[in-house]
Amino acid sequence: MGLVIFLVLLGAFFLVAELVFLPGAILGSLLALSSYGAAAFFGFSRFGLTGGVVTIVAILLLSLVVTVLSMRAKTWQRLALKDKVTGASMESPSQKVAIGDKGVAVSRLSPMGKVEVGGKIFEAKSLDVYIDQRSEVEVIGFENFTILVKKL
């Protein structure tokens, strides 16, 4: 009797895993079906026709209850992550440099390279085709973590 109950509960666990944690992976469904099948087999073989029918009814009812509870949104809200990530991996250059600031090309910009503005080195993109090293540049905008510059 304990083995049948254990297999039914194990099948319910795999069903929840499939519905909530691994949707579409099929692994949880296959394991749930295997557990349910083994429980039904042992129910019929050890307890006869009545025990097998009771096992199948228990499997169907438990599966229905588990599916309904798993699909309700409020059931898993306690496990859901509520924190929001507001940080960034690096600071945006727009926080340290302003449009109109002047600097010097540290490397050749063709069209990407490095510029020094305000004593700090930044990745830059030239709107001109090429800007030679040690040329004076002016900040004209920002694109993600890149400074847009033009030659003075």
DSSP per residue over 33-100, as a string?
HHHHHHHHHHHHHHHHHHHHHHHHHHHHHHHHHHHHHHH-GGGSTTTS--------SS--GGGT--TT
Closest CA to 121 of 93, 82, 141, 143: 93
Confidence of residue 86 (pLDDT cuts 50, 70, 90): confident
Spatial separation of the C-alpha atoms in residues 100 and 109, rounded to whole Å: 18
Confidence of residue 96 (pLDDT cuts 50, 70, 90): confident
- 142: helix, strand or coil: strand
CB within 8 A of 43, min separation 6: which ones?
Answer: 4, 51, 52, 54, 55, 56
**pTM of the predicted model as reported, rounded to 2 decimal places:** 0.49
Supply the pLDDT for residue 145. 83
Supply the pLDDT for residue 19. 81
The mean pLDDT value of the chain amounts to: 86
Tell me the CA end-to-end span of the chain in Å, nearest whole number.
86
Supply the pLDDT for residue 128. 73
Supply the pLDDT for residue 45. 92
Confidence of residue 70 (pLDDT cuts 50, 70, 90): confident
Which residue type does 3 have? L
